[in-house]
Structure 1
Amino acid sequence: MKLKVLSLLAFLAAGVSSSFAAGELSIGTEGAYPPWSMADAAGNVTGFDADVGAALCAKLDRKCRFVVQAFDGLIPALKAKRFDVIISGMSITEERKKEINFSIGYAELANMFVAPKGSDLAGIKDIDTLLKSLDGKKVGVQAGTTHAHFLEKRVPGADLKTYDTLDQMQIDLATGRIDTAFADLSALQDFLAKPDGQNFQLVDVKIQSTYDSSLGEGIGVGIAQDNTALKAEIDKALCELVADGSIGKASEKWFKTDISLPCK
């Protein structure tokens, strides 16, 4: 991890309290999941999550400060008050709602598998056949994600391999250590655009969150359960950002399609 980020995390871990009241919104994000969240060597964060965070901070009249944290450590860090909110492509699920609160869902992208061209998985067209075919297969997922929970629930016979980062999963996929990988469409498109992904293809089965509750209720901002005032402010701001097209514009920029969800 970048030195700048490490120093910041060490400082936060010492017990710094929420900075929101002081005119700043600190945002926890993964920083290694393109095009959602990418951190460079200087600790600067870009991607869809960064654009959503910047738009949200502008609406709330707060200065943004991004804190890079491994995805499976985001919820514990939020609960420890190391930052104010999570904006990291995090799906709203019942399991996560037991630990933290969420804003309204503001975006959703289909989930898919990627497999080697010509493999027995590559030509499958329906979800039931696909899930049955995963039994005994080595399937890669990022640790702590809805993709991992979905496979644990739906395909207990799969040999599930979990990874801290998307890059680690892609390396094992490219070198044949796993048979397939399950992630959101944007992450897999990123892999397919690389030289290592040239001999792979998407399995033509899109799995929406409506298929199974373990995949969540769309992407939301993670908020501490006791911070109801901040949730109200964020919900209002997100509704305005969806309505004025800001979320849609950001998603068109990063995903080439509008993945924004209408405000409920």
Structure 2
Amino acid sequence: MKLKILSLFVALAAGVGHASAAEGELAIGTEGAYPPWSMADAAGNVTGFDADVGNLLCEKLAVKCRFVVQAFDGLIPALKAKRFDVIISGMSITEDRRKEIDFSVGYAELANMFVAPKGSDLAAITDYDTLLKALDGKKVGVQAGTTHAHFLEKKVPDADIKTYDTLDQMQIDLATGRIDTAFADVSALQDFLAKPDGKNFQLVDVKILSTVDPTLGEGVGVGIAKDNTELKAKINKALCELVADGSVGKSSEKWFKMDISRPCQ
């Protein structure tokens, strides 16, 4: 997983410039534990929407994909350390992250929601402002290092926010009653609801889009090192073509049962 990049980005790894995208390999950092965005098996094989987007990009750029599995909150430091060339991991584009790395155009966006036990006071709420007020004093689960975590810290500072390295850890605490609710994108929560542990839970009927607050970002993009302008231009062109021809939408229909592709702005 940590082999030296051999062709396209060997010059980048050495800090002496950029090579042609047709010359070799694209190393992609991804979490591997955020279904259906990114799932990695014991052998390190990666599947999910992120893997599809990566493979589509590699095909467009005529390079070989190599996925590197990394904890989500370590993805940006690892990219800056040149452990891989790009991040494709359901990462929302935010101003804070732009201070550290660059991004491609946004290519996808999915609503964010809370999940709560059926019959609970939270589960009955349908209004955004009422929901935020009701979260005061509640134990709220969220994955560390995400836009969801930053949103909670900003909007509900009086909640008892519990952060987790992975969704699985958060879902275990939710199922066992250690937390009152959890906040994530709707796809991750639907995955939980489809499991036996999720049978007594439901989505809170308040969809929270990135337009509500800039903390939630500007859609999902490919993370790229700030000095790699040549690669950014190639990825932007490829992504816009893949969204326009329906390839990204087709993949999102497969994984999310809906088209979450985002046309180039």
> TM exceeds 0.5?
yes
1:198 & 1:17 partners in 2: Cα distance? 51
User: 1:24 touches 1:62 (CA, 8 Å); kept in 2?
Assistant: yes
Question: What pairs up with 1:211-250 in 2 under 5 angstroms?
Answer: 211-250=212-251
Which amino acid is 2:103 matched to? F
2:138 corresponds in structure 1 to: 137
1:94 & 1:41 partners in 2: Cα distance? 34
1:235 & 1:68 partners in 2: Cα distance? 23
2:248 & 2:46 partners in 1: Cα distance? 17
Question: What pairs up with 1:63-142 in 2 under 5 angstroms?
Answer: 63-142=64-143
Deviation, 1:149, is 0.3
Q: What are the superposed Cα offsets for residues 203-257 of structure 1, whole Å, 9 maximum, x if unpaired?
A: 0000000000000000000000111111000000000000100000000000000
1:117 & 1:41 partners in 2: Cα distance? 34
1:256 corresponds in structure 2 to: 257
Report the TM-score, using the length of structure 2 for normalisation.
Answer: 0.93
1:262 & 1:115 partners in 2: Cα distance? 32
1:28 & 1:97 partners in 2: Cα distance? 17
User: 1:18 touches 1:83 (CA, 8 Å); kept in 2?
Assistant: no
1:168 corresponds in structure 2 to: 169
Query: For 2:211, what is the secondary structure of its paired residue?
Result: helix
Deviation, 1:17, is 6.9
2:59 corresponds in structure 1 to: 58
Which amino acid is 1:140 matched to? G
Q: Which runs of 5+ in 1 are unaligned?
A: 1-7
Which amino acid is 1:160 matched to? I
Report the TM-score, using the length of structure 1 for normalisation.
Answer: 0.94
Which amino acid is 1:71 matched to? F
1:160 & 1:23 partners in 2: Cα distance? 44
Deviation, 1:42, is 1.1
2:259 & 2:238 partners in 1: Cα distance? 19
Query: For 2:173, what is the secondary structure of its paired residue?
Result: helix
1:83 & 1:173 partners in 2: Cα distance? 34
Query: For 1:210, what is the secondary structure of its paired residue?
Result: coil
User: 1:17 touches 1:82 (CA, 8 Å); kept in 2?
Assistant: no
Deviation, 1:18, is 4.6
What percentage of residue pairs aligned between the two structures are identical?
A: 83
Which amino acid is 1:128 matched to? D
Which amino acid is 1:111 matched to? N
1:60 & 1:165 partners in 2: Cα distance? 31
Which amino acid is 1:122 matched to? A
Deviation, 1:41, is 1.2
Q: What are the superposed Cα offsets for residues 136-174 of structure 1, whole Å, 9 maximum, x if unpaired?
A: 000000000000000000000010000000000000000
Which amino acid is 1:195 matched to? P
2:175 & 2:207 partners in 1: Cα distance? 22
1:31 corresponds in structure 2 to: 32
User: Aligned pair count?
Assistant: 254
1:38 & 1:110 partners in 2: Cα distance? 20
